[in-house]
């Protein structure tokens, strides 16, 4: 199984990139969060879209990091430390530079010209592009926009190389029948992760970002842990061995937390009044409750999706293979694509939820189609 193509992982990547693009479009049309462009009146918050965003945020990036961690040891063992990190620099570093120096400013400039840039400044800018660049680079940080994830993977890869070199482990041993964690262990893991996330958010609320690296540390306890879990999962062959009973149990837990517990927490915490700041950080019960909800939901959804995808979606037809091949490129370009689609639709009079749905139907296929085209370019083939 370790040598066979894990098609269910490829299909999960397609799903996760779709969900991330949907999350950003959701913010555009009233969901809670920060993004480049919003097409709703100032201060407007859509409860259904905020519900969607919280649910997707709880597991999507954590699962991305787990999958990345899972394939790290095998790549390192095959290539060795020097070639492994050189390939990581090429595949991760070049997209970061392209986004930071080309895509990011080209996307931000027209938004600032019309005073529509929600992420960073809502002030209108009437100067030239060269003047804009001088301002843009004076506030420059690495990993602009969604490329923070690629930047984090590069840092994590560097840390993994150091760990392997210092531990003098030549090859990652794989135990085909390595012991799976039990349900109680998983619940305690989620509880500990939720508690640590709450402690971090007492001082660094959700939305706080470490400027030089564009890292939102309030979410990083989960990301770091899931990357490590992915490495351990590879060594113990966990992803292909989740029992049906465990998968079904955590699927039920995920549905309970999303469909019942979140609305209850939302209402009891006073979010219906339009102020969700108590959930974002500080020494408040809403923040603690939300941190626990988020991590239990994240763990439950990750287990459930791994189980369901392996059981029902461990195959690919032609379209899925093409989407899988262009998934990384689709992630890199989804920001400008979703923003341009939203701007093109800005004068369409529709209820925000319907506008969101229409934007999703246009933007998601466009991301993967353009991603597939970009991958065919001569200089992009080796990187993307």
- Residue 297 to residue 301: CA distance in whole angstroms: 6
pLDDT in tens, 206-258: 999 988 888 999 999 999 999 999 999 999 999 999 999 999 999 999 999 99
Q: pLDDT value at position 256? A: 98
Question: 186 and 299 in contact (C-beta within 8 Å)?
Answer: yes
**CB contact at 8 A, 122 and 115:** yes
The residues pairing with 215 across neighbouring beta strands, listed in sequence order, are 210
Nearest to 310 by CA among 243, 225, 235, 378: 243
Which positions of the chain have pLDDT values less than 50? 1-2, 119-122
* Residue 180 near residue 241 (C-beta atoms within 8 A): yes
Q: List C-alpha distances in Å: 141 to 61, 108, 192, 217, 242.
A: 21, 14, 32, 15, 40
Query: To which residue do tokens 């918050």 refer?
Result: 45
- The CA radius of gyration of the chain, in Å to the nearest whole number, is 21
pTM of the model: 0.93
Q: Is the CB of residue 337 less than 8 Å from the CB of residue 367?
A: yes
| Predicted local distance difference test score (pLDDT) of residue 116 | 57
- Give Cβ neighbours of residue 207 (< 8 Å, ≥ 6 apart): 34, 216, 218, 280
Instruction: Give the pLDDT confidence score for residue 119 in this predicted structure.
Output: 46
pLDDT of residue 178: 76
Quote the DSSP letter at residue 219: G
Contact 277, 287 (CB under 8 A): no
Q: Cβ atoms within 10 A of the Cβ of 222, count?
A: 28
The whole-angstrom separation of Cα 26 and Cα 342 is 11
**C-beta neighbour count of 211 within 10 angstroms:** 11
Q: Long-range contact list for 277-286, CB < 8 A, 24+ apart?
A: 277/205, 279/206, 280/201, 280/205, 280/206, 280/207, 281/201, 281/202, 281/203, 281/204, 281/205, 281/206, 281/208, 281/218, 282/201, 282/202, 282/205, 283/202
């Amino acid at each position: 199984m370790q040598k066979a193509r894990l098609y269910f992982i490829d299909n999960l990547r397609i799903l996760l990139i779709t969900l991330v693009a949907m999350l950003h479009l959701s913010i555009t049309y009233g969901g809670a969060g920060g993004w480049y462009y919003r097409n709703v009146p100032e201060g407007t918050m859509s409860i259904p879209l905020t519900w969607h965003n919280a649910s997707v945020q709880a597991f999507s990036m954590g699962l991305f990091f787990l999958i990345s961690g899972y394939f790290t040891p095998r790549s390192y063992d095959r290539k060795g430390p020097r070639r492994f990190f050189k390939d990581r620099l090429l595949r991760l570093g070049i997209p970061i530079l392209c986004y930071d120096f080309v895509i990011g400013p080209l996307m931000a400039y027209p938004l600032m010209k019309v005073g529509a840039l929600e992420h960073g400044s809502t002030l209108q800018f009437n100067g030239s592009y060269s003047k804009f660049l001088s301002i843009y680079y004076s506030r420059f940080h690495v990993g602009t926009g969604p490329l923070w994830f690629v930047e984090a993977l590069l840092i994590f890869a560097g840390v993994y190389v150091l760990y392997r070199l210092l531990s003098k482990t030549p090859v990652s041993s794989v135990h085909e029948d390595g012991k799976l964690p039990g349900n109680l262990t998983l619940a305690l893991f989620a509880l500990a992760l939720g508690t640590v996330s709450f402690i971090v958010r007492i001082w660094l609320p959700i939305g706080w970002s470490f400027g030089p690296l564009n890292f939102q540390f309030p979410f990083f306890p989960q990301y770091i842990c899931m990357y490590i879990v992915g490495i351990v999962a590879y060594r113990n062959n966990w992803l292909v061995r989740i029992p049906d009973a465990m998968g079904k149990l955590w699927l039920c837990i995920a549905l309970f937390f999303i469909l019942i517990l979140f609305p209850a927490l939302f209402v009891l915490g006073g979010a219906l009044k339009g102020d969700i700041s108590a959930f974002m950080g500080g020494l408040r019960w809403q923040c603690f409750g939300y941190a626990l909800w988020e991590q239990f939901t994240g763990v439950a959804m990750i287990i459930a999706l791994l189980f369901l995808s392996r059981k029902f979606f461990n195959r690919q037809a032609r379209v899925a293979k093409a989407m899988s091949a262009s998934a990384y490129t689709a992630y890199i370009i989804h920001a400008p694509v979703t923003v341009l689609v939203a701007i093109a639709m800005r004068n369409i009079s529709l209820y925000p939820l319907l506008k969101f749905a229409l934007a999703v139907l246009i933007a998601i296929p466009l991301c993967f189609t353009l991603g597939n085209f970009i991958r065919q370019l001569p200089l992009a083939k080796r990187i993307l």
